[in-house]
Each structure stands twice: as structure tokens, then as C-alpha cells.
Structure 1
Amino acid sequence: MDITENLTPLEKAKLWLGEGFDEETRRAVEMLISSQSADLDDSFYRALEFGTGGMRGIMGVGTNRLNKYTLGQATQGLANYLHQQFSGQQIKVAIAYDVRNNSKEFGKLCADVLTANGIKVLLFKEHRPTPELSFTVRDKKCNAGIVLTASHNPPEYNGYKVYWNDGAQIVPPDDEAIIKEVYSLKFEDIKFEGNDDLIEWIGEEQDDVYIDACMENSLYQKDKIGYDNLNIVFTSIHGTTYKTVPQALKKAGFTKVDLVKEQMIPSGNFPTVESPNPEEPAALEMALDLARITNGDIVIGTDPDGDRLGIAVRNLDGEMQLLNGNQTNTILTYYILDQWKKAGKITGKEFIGSTIVTSDIFEDIAQKFGVDCKIGLTGFKWIGKMIRDNEGKEKFVCGGEESFGFMTGDFVRDKDSCGSILLACEIAAWCKANGKTMYQYMIDIYKETGMYYEGLINVVKKGRSGAEEIKQMMTDFRENPPAEIAGSAVTEVRDYLEQTSLDLKNGQKSVMDGIPKSNVLIYYTADGTKVCVRPSGTEPKIKFYVSVKDSIQSEEEFRQKLTVLDGKIQQVKSDLKL
């Protein structure tokens, strides 16, 4: 429990005027107080919490902000827990950071706190992608890892994610135990005076090892069919992949790669985009423009910390179209399992990973190829936990979630854009060599599995009042579930907070085993429509994930059903008053 939780925001702010805080911080707090700024309440009304992606927030002074003291407190708590878990050992922690403002300084700050506690640190010299940090934790046999990133959030944000010794993000009970340690600390307990003798600097040599692992786990065509005839356009959107992805593509044998040069310059201000989010077509606009000039076959963009990717390919009209995360992952998953089947590698003891908000098509694909599909909560840390829990029993093949994340193999225990990009380019090259596009390949898959189509609706509610509104919205949806959605009766309600499933056809309620509690609701309707409702763990949003489905037999029928299913998603939005 936060030891200051019963204080008002103003009382908390006044504590930050004491001698335990540096002069720059005290001046900033004094300004907040004297100006009676509305930011005072939001800066101090709570302590930052760990969500699905760790601790993420706006940079600035205050308990609800990312700064020297909140990061120091988190790292001191981690150090204390590491000493408890690995008593008597020389503890090692790898640290990486993305291109965001202050990330490099925050990385060194975390290193100082750890070394002040006698912990050895492997610190990247410059910014590196999050999946490379995950890989490095295992490759260098570290006890833990830290990455400073706020993913695709706006420039004023930064964040802090902790990885355990298996290279995956922390999950219960470790995350809860670390948070308990953090909240038991006073800021004066933080050891800031680091020992540089305990820092080992790492860089380009680790890139080579990581890229080789990406190639080994993501490429299947030994004869590199069509590699030299695929026109690729890539943008790092000012993020960390500006070096690693071009190097990986070249090393793999892809020769026609055009880079969006203006966006290959790393910058925490993301000057050429409103949002560095590859889920949004606007973030790839410059890359799409370049593809029109170069006759690109595939456009790829990554987010600032290089774990997620957006892909655009030519649709049935020959125009570049951004695939959603489920569509991309459908193509990648089907291709991998098809390759495994052809190689005789499927024995019945393999599995793929997905999440409760991701399309159900992955269960259909898994069934087709005779592998298991394990479903976890939102966030790749749960897919990482699946791998750890099943090591030695079942072989992990690949995993993904709708938010533009995917990984192949278990060499990285988090979503990995580099390996996924190599795989996507191989598929695109193979498709082109066989006279089709990736989009047509996706339609071929839908002919077998049924056509799934998804939409994501974000409702933004900022600040303290916004958090209360989101809480009330979840209460309302939980206590008053809709009887009908888009003209189809709701047949089942899954409540992951209560861990129950209610069958509305017979009124029977059953307990759902195997998935931890989470504030998520899922409605299923008679025609296969699925609506998931959950508050974001990292942003001031409540999210509605909508999935609709139908069957198709041809490309022409795909065109027709696309219009029908898109209309159904709009009807869902209207019915839920979003």
C-alpha cells in the first residue's frame, strides 16, 4: 500500500518541497502550488501503477508522473526483491531504452540505483528495441531486465517495464511482490549514488547476435524464393529500429529496400507524425507515398521501441491498405504452421499463443493444423508465461495479439517486430513469386477458416475524473449487459473479474479456470459477434474490441462481405452508444 495514499494531492506535493528532493524538483513543485495549476491534482492524486505494459505515464514532478524519484523508487524496490530472490549471487540486470526524451538519462539513473545496491548492469550504449532487451536477458543469463519506453504514447510520456530471468515481462507473483516492495519505500530510501565499475556497456556486437537469432527463427525458405524481387518500403517512425531492421533485411537477402529517410532519424518528438503508432494509417502516410513512387509491394512501420509493426499490402484494387493486427497475425500464423506441417514438425505437442481480446480465428487455425491455441489475458507477458509454464512439455510455435504484436519462436519472450518483419517479407516474396499478393493469401485463408473482421473503438477519458468515468462505465456494462447487439441476441457473458461465464440461453453460470482475474467483459452473440470491453492498462482509455464473422467462397464474395461486416461493426458502435 502507498504509505501516503490518505494525503490530499496538495499535502503530497508539499512533501516534495523537503530536502530529500533536488532543487530542480522543488522549484517545479513550488510553481505547481503557487500557480494553483490543475496539473497539481493529476500529478499527485495517486502513485503510478503497473498495468499490462508496466509503469507508464507523463513525465514531470509528482507521484503520478515519470521522474527521477518514481523511477528510483521502482528500481530500488526491484533491487530489494532481486536480493531476496537471488541471495548470495552476483545479480545481473540488462537495461535498454528507446528514443524518447529523457530515456537515455532514465536508463543511466536506473543503472545507478542498481549498482548502488551492488547489482551488475549490462547497459546499452544507445537506444535499442524492446525485443532485443528481452533477448539479451536470456542470452546474457541476466536475473532481470529493464526497458525505458512508453511504446506509441504521445511525446510527453515515458515508461518502465521489468523483465524476469526468462526474458518475459514480470507476472504474478513476482510483479505483485515487486510492487509491494516499491510501495513500502520512502523516497529517502532510494540509493542514487551508483558505481560505474559495475556497468558493462553493450551495443553493436549484441545486435549481430540478436539479428542472427531473428533470422534463424523467422525464415523458412532456404532457396529464398523471390527475395530479390520484393519491393519493400520501411520506416522506423523515428524509433529504435532504424539500424536493426535494415541490417536484418540486408543480411537475410532482401535487396530492394527503400527507407523513409526523414523518419529514420531517431527523435523523441516524432516530428513527422501526430502519433508514432503503426496501428494508425496516418503514421505510415510518408511510407505509403514512397511506395507509390517505388511500386512497393509491402510497407512496414514500427513503433518507437520496436516491438510492434504495421504492415500495408496491395488490396484487390491494387491499392496499398494497412492490415489490422489480427489480419497480419492470421497470415503469419497460418504460414508458419503450414511450413511446420510440410516439414513434419507437428507432433500434437505444439501450441500457439493468443489473448482474450484477439480474434477467435486463431483457435480455428490451430485446430486445422492440429496444435493447441492457448488464450491469456491482454499483454504479451501472458504469452511469455505460457511459454515458461509449458517448457519441456509443449513446444511454442508463435503468438500474437490484435494490437500489432507478434513473435516467432521463444528466443524472444515478447512481441518482436524484427523477426516478424523478416517473416512477413518472406511471405510477401513467396506470394509475389506465385502470382498473388499477401492480401489474396489472407482471403485464401478466410475461405478455409471463415472470414473474420475486427474493429477497435477507443473512448478516451483523461485525468482523475476520466478514470472515475471509465470505472463507472465498466460497472454499468457489468450490471446491465445488452440483451442484443447488432440485431443478434447476446448468448454468453464472460466476466474475467468475477471469473464466470453466464449462458443466457439457460441462465447457468459457470466458473472459468486458468486465467487470472482482470477487469474485462466479453459478450458473444448468436451470430458469432464478439465484443470485449476493458480499460486500458497504459492509457486513459476504455477499449471496445469488436469481431464479426461470416463465410466466403471467392474474392468477389469477400468484397461483398467486407461491406456487410463493416456495417455490422458500425451497428455495434451505435447499439453500445459509443
Structure 2
Amino acid sequence: MSLEPAPSESLRVQTALAAVEHACQEGKITAGAVENIRAWLTENRYREYRDSVLQHISDAQWQKLDDVFWTVIPFGTGGRRGRMYEIGSNAINDRTIGESAQGLADYVVKYHGGEKPLSCAIAYDTRHRSRHFTELCAEVMVAAGIKVYLLDDYRATPQLSFAVRHLQCDCGIMVTASHNPPSDNAVKVYWSSGAQVLPPHDKAIIQGVMNCQEIKRANFQQALADGQVEIVTEQVDAAYFDAAVQCQFAGPRDVRILYSPLHGVGEAAVVPLLHRDGFEDVTVYEPHRQPSGDFPNVPGHVSNPENKAVFEKPIEQARSEGFDLIMATDPDCDRLGVAAPLTTDSAGPWGTFTGNQIAALLANFILDKAVAAGITNPQSYVVKTLVTSELVRRIAAGHGVRCVGDLLVGFKYIAETMDQEGPDDFLYGCEESHGYLVGSYARDKDGAVACMLISELAAELKAKGQSMHDYLGELYREHGLHREDLINVFMEGSEGMAAMTSLMKAFRENPPQSLGGMTVRHVRDYGSNTVTTLGESPNTQPLAGPTGNLVIMDMIEEGNYVAVRPSGTEPKVKFYIFTRLEANKSQNLEAADTKLVDRIAAIETDVRDFARVSV
């Protein structure tokens, strides 16, 4: 729908559009930005943003305009996420958040066809404008005739997943950008299962979002007074802790814990759950305690427990005060990071664990307990993604448990597998990006329950006089040393998207013949679902598995491979490097580790060189 603005305004718009076209011809702005700016200047649905767009054009802010308009912000692996800015189709603002909620509301209403009353659970984290976006989403839902159950304080993403299931909602919204920088925010959209939306719902919701003309809103305060928005924080908290603590295992609880919420929501979830599980000596790391969207005391202001640097200062306190374990969760408390002493001496050196290492530690601990309790059967299974360590699969096999591991990146696929395979036989789900789940109370990764189980493992090992690092070493000697690494190559804006597309095409059509001195034997392309054998007589065969933008290059030595995929939540390409030595070559862990560290360095050099010449 086009506006017919007043003559003076129409002239301003035409003059601005001419300036935009001229800027495009001079290479200052991309064609995609021109198209989206034209829509925001001429279509009625964007009328309230017109003056701001015109001012940006008048001020010749071409780089900013290109950044926020070059594309339409997509739904990725975790919903719709990006940098906040007042205008722009490629930014998080009232328009993009509002149309996201409207697209979800319209689809939910259409899907159910008026057959029953509808409801939506909504929660939010400590980020800038999270509460504002929460009320906006609630207003859209209520205007569509959908009752809102609101967690009216900072709460964790897994608590939202739980609330959707517990309250039997038709959908859910979590306002969070997870571990992204302070500039970002997002919405994660959930279906009635408590999992983030999957096909066919995701495509239908996206279509509704893209076609959204009008964002219809109720008044939040009036909806609250009328009971159309109901505060359920205390009710959901009580039910969540009752369900989550059921995932506990019996054992010692004598361990000193230092916990960091990294300025996020985690303290309200982790600390009460640890206390319910019998852990009394829990201290919150004070410099990271204050909820803040600026993440002021975290290195680089990025609250990501994958980053070793966030543990440096907590380790200093732990060593001086005799703590046994440090845990940190990201701002929405669905990811867990861990540090522990290298030996049983907490005053000595400490080390952090990667997401893959934590996945393996928890897998072995949980499966040991499950087998000892006699709760496993031939149908019992664990779940992991394609870019999560194969050590998890080997640990599962060692316990006589199935591993479903042929999944794309995104915990929603683990949740989908739980419901396909049956939640009663589900034991554990994990992904390398520090996400873990046990139990069937939720359908998303849960940092709080992961904290509880790691604490139980730490207490059990302390009682045995063994460090967590030594425990991991035992797993390596049994199953072979596994070493993994992750390379993130950021590619911002429209030029970055073109570079990513070019790079993925190169890996598919002209992949490297060797990496780190090892011959590449196969290239698995999950985009075309084909596997190509390289060499003198190359051939291509069908590849069973999911379809997605992922390429995996298998080296000639089993267990050594590189996976490449564009991130679904940030403007970057991710390179996952996997290396392994057989168990008989892993008994001397120090020598084996040196070999694999050198191998990873060589592979990384080759991967970076290939990427540099391919874009």
C-alpha cells in the first residue's frame, strides 16, 4: 500500500530517492538498500519512520543506511537477531520486532482457526530495551486475541521453554540476543512444544512477517488490568524448580562453587536450583553480578562463556579463596562455561573447558549414573549436532546407548529429535556451543540444570581425590584424544554476505585437496545432500541427512575433519576443526596433545589461506 503524501512531503521523498539512486551509482550504497529504503519511504506501513529515514539521507549517512537497509533481517537458528537501531529492515527496532510478533500472532490464529482460546508465554533478559520489546510483543498478541502469560522479571530462556509447556501455551516469545554484543537484541520464537519453531511453522511465520502491513497493538497497562496479560512469575518459578531438580543424581555435595551470571539473568535460576540440590557453598562472583545490558565488567563487553577471558578474574579469586569450581552462564542462561583446577590443588593452575569437553564430561557422568540406576534400555539415546564432538558418540556407544548425531546446528533440532524418538528414552542432548539438556521438562538447552550436574560431578570427583581435568583425560585414554577448535571469520554488511556466499561456493565446487598436511578424502555438502569423493577418480553420491548450508571435509585419517557454515545469528562464517588420535596413540596425553595442537594450527593456516583467496 502506497501513501499519497502532501505535495511538499512528496517532493522531499522524490528528492531523497533521487539522492539514494545517485549514491548507489557512486557505490556508496547497495541495490538492496535502495529497494528497502524506497519501501520505507513510500509504503504506508512504514510511515512513522519516514522522517527519520529522510533525515539520514539528508545527512548523507550512506554507510549507516546501507548497514541497516541492505537486506531484511532474517530468521536464523535462534530467531530474529541483530543490532538495534531506530530504523532499518536489517536492524532490531519497533518495526522489525513488532512485525515478528504480528507474523507469529497471525499464524497462530490462522493455524487454530478459532477452535480454542489461545495463549502465549513471554519472558525477557537484561539487555537494553528487552522490557520495551516485551511489552510491544504482548500488545500485539493481545490485539490478536491471544492471552499473554508474562514472566515479569529477568528470567532464563529455558524457563520460557518450560513455561510454554507448563501453561500449555500455543506459542512463546523470549526477548534476548543470548551471548551477542551489547548492541544487539532479538526475539526467539517458540511453538507449543516449548521448542523454537520448526518446519512447517517457521516458513509460514516468516511469510507472515515479510507480508505484515499493519502492526496491531493493544494497550499494555489496560491489558494487564483486564487480565489479558497475566503475571505468572512466581507460579512458573516454583514449577520450574520442582521439575528441574528431578534431574539430580544422588551423591556428595561438598564443593565450593564460584558462579558468574555475566551480568545476565542466571542468578535467579542457577543459585536457587543449586540450593535445592543440596549445594550450600555457592558464591556469586560480585563484579559480574549486577544485571546490565552493557556487560561492563566482562572482557570486550561480550558475555559469552565460550570466551576463556571471562574466567581470568574469577580464577584469581578462586585460587586465593579456595574454590573448587567456577561456572558462568550467558545473559539468558541457556549456555554454560566451566573452569576447574588442573589438579586437586585449587591454589595451583586452573584451566577452562571447551563446549565439546563439557559435553563429553556431562555425557559420561549422566550415562554412568543412568546405567548404574538401571534406567537405560536398548532404545535409550543421546542427541548431538553434526558440529559437536564425536567423543560424545563414542561415550554413548561405550554405555550401550544410541547417539542421534546427524543434526544441523540449532538446539531446536535436538528438541525435534526428542519428540520424534520419544522423550521417555531421552537421556541427554548437547551442542558444542555450550548448550546442554537432560530431562523432558523443557525443549531448549538449560544452563541452570547443566550447572547443577557439573556441580554434582565436581563434588563426586573431589570426594575421590580426582580433578575434572584428570577425569577428562581418562575419557581420552579410553576413546582416543579428541581436540577441536573453532574459527570465526566476521563478514559484516552486504559485502560480507556476498563474501560468505562466494566462500561457501568455493568449498563446494573447488574444495582444498589437503588440510594440515592431510589429504581431504570426502566433501559432504548438506546443501545439495551429496558426498563427493576426491582424488584421481572423483565421484558424487547421495548423502543421507538433513538439508542445510553446511559443508564438511573429511580427511583421510578417521576423526579428522573440518565443517564450514555461515552463522545463523551473527554476520560470520564458522569453521569447526575436529582432530583425533586412536586410543592406542593417546595413552601419553601430553605427547598426543602436542601432536594435535600442531595439527590444528596447520589446518587453521590452510583454512584461512583458502578463505582469503576464495572471497
Q: If the length of structure 2 is used for normalisation, what is the TM-score? A: 0.88
Could you say which residue in structure 2 is the equivalent of 1:286?
A: 313
Matched residue, 1:3: none
Please list, as runs of the form range in 1=range in 2, the aligned pairs for 1:89-238 lying within 5 A after superposition: 89-186=116-213, 189-194=214-219, 195-196=223-224, 197=226, 198-217=228-247, 219-221=248-250, 224-225=251-252, 227=253, 229-238=254-263
- Cα offsets for 1:27-76 (capped at 9, x unmatched): 53233212211110121121110111111011111111111111111111
Which structure 2 residues correspond to residues 467-478 of structure 1 after superposition, within 5 A? 467-478=497-508
What's the CA shift for 1:85? 1.6
Query: Hey, what's the Cα distance between the residues in 2 that align with 1:497 and 1:213?
Result: 39
Change (3 A) 1:112 1:459: same
Q: Does the Cα contact within 8 Å between 1:536 and 1:543 map onto a contact in 2? A: yes
User: Partners of 2:489 and 2:326 in 1: how far apart?
Assistant: 28
Compared CA separation, residues 554 and 508, structure 1 to 2 (3 A): closer
- Which residue of structure 2 aligns with residue 42 of structure 1? 67
Task: Give the residue type in structure 1 aligned to 2:159.
Answer: E
Cα displacement string for residues 331-390 of structure 1 (whole angstroms, at most 9, x for unaligned residues): 101111111111111211111110111111122112111221112100101001101112
Which of 535, 542, 555 does residue 566 from structure 2 map onto?
Answer: 535
SS in 2 for 1:439: helix
Correspondence for 2:534:
504
Structure 1 runs (4+) greater than 6 angstroms displaced: 553-556
The one of 592, 611, 614 equivalent to 1:561 is: 592
Structure 1 pair 7–557 and aligned structure 2 pair: CA distance change class (3 A): closer
For 1:346 and 1:364, locate their aligned partners in 2 and report how far apart those are by CA, in whole Å.
16
Query: Is the CA contact 1:104–1:127 (under 8 Å) kept in the aligned structure 2?
Result: no
Match status 1:253 vs 2:284: no
C-alpha distance in 1 between matches for 2:549 and 2:153: 37
Paired letter, 1:390: E
Q: For the Cα contact (< 8 Å) 1:260–1:286, is it kept in 2?
A: no
Q: Distance in 2 between matches of 1:77 and 1:512?
A: 34
Q: CA deviation at 1:163?
A: 0.7
Paired residues of 2:477 and 2:587 also in contact (CA < 8 A): no
Distance in structure 2 (CA, Å) of the matches to 1:352 and 1:513: 20
- The offset of 1:83, in angstroms, is 1.0
Counterpart CA distance in 1 for 2:548 and 2:139 is 35
Could you tell me whether the CA contact under 8 Å between 2:257 and 2:281 is conserved in 1? yes
Per-residue deviation, residues 305-350 of structure 1 (Å, max 9, x unmatched): 1100100112259421110000001010111111111111121111
Q: Which moved further from structure 2: 64-73 or 8-17?
A: 8-17
Alpha-carbon spacing, 1:556–1:389, altered in 2? closer, same or farther (3 Å)? closer
2:305, 2:330 within 8 Å by CA — same for their partners in 1?
A: yes
Separation in 1, partners of 2:443, 2:528? 29
Alpha-carbon distance between aligned partners in 2 of 1:152 and 1:283, rounded to the nearest angstrom: 12
Gaps of 5+ in 1: 1-5
Of the three residues 419, 422, 442, the one matched with 1:388 is 419
**1:522 to 2:552 alignment:** yes
Shift of 1:208: 2.4
1:86 maps to which residue? 112
Query: Of 326, 339, 348, which aligns to 2:369?
Result: 339
- Number of corresponding residues: 563
Matched, 1:12 2:33: no
- 2:265 maps to 240
Answer 1 or 2: which has greater helix percent: 2
Using the alignment, how far apart are the partners of 2:275 and 2:74 within structure 1? 41
Corresponding residue of 1:404: 434
What amino acid is aligned across from residue 59 of structure 1 in structure 2?
A: M
Aligned-pair CA distance for 1:502: 2.0
The CA distance in 1 between the partners of 2:38 and 2:514, in whole Å, is: 52
2:593 is matched by which residue type in structure 1?
A: L
Question: RMSD between aligned alpha carbons?
Answer: 1.9
Structure 1 residue 391, shift from structure 2 partner? 2.3
Query: Quick check: 1:437 aligned with 2:491?
Result: no
SS at match of 1:577: helix
1:303 to 330, 333, 341: 330
- Structure 1: how far apart are the matches of 2:188 and 2:601? 35
Q: Equivalents in 2 of 1:326, 1:495: separation in Å?
A: 23
- Greater radius of gyration (CA): 2
Q: Given the two structures, how large is their TM-score scaled by the length of structure 1?
A: 0.94
- The answer on whether the counterparts of 1:533 and 1:545 sit within 8 Å (CA) in structure 2 is yes
Pick the aligned partner of 1:358 from 367, 388, 409: 388
- Rate the CA distance shift 1:571–1:192 in 2: closer, same or farther, 3 A: same
Equivalents in 2 of 1:14, 1:477: separation in Å? 36
Shift of 1:407: 0.7
Counterpart in 2 of 1:75? 101
Counterpart of 1:237, as a letter, is L
Residue 481 (str. 1) matches residue 511 (str. 2): yes
Task: Return the offset for 1:191.
Answer: 0.4
Q: Is contact 2:493–2:571 with CA below 8 Å preserved after alignment?
A: yes
Match of 2:11 in 1: none
CA offsets 1:128-176 (integer angstroms, 9 cap, x no match):
1100000111011111111011111111100111111111111111101
Pick one of 265, 270, 277 that aligns with 2:304. Answer: 277
The one-letter amino acid of 1:373's match is: C
Task: Give the drift of 1:213.
Answer: 1.6
Measure, in 1, the Cα distance between the counterparts of 2:471 and 2:273. 24
Structure 2 gap ranges (5+): 1-29, 610-615
Code of the residue aligned with 2:171 in structure 1: it is: A
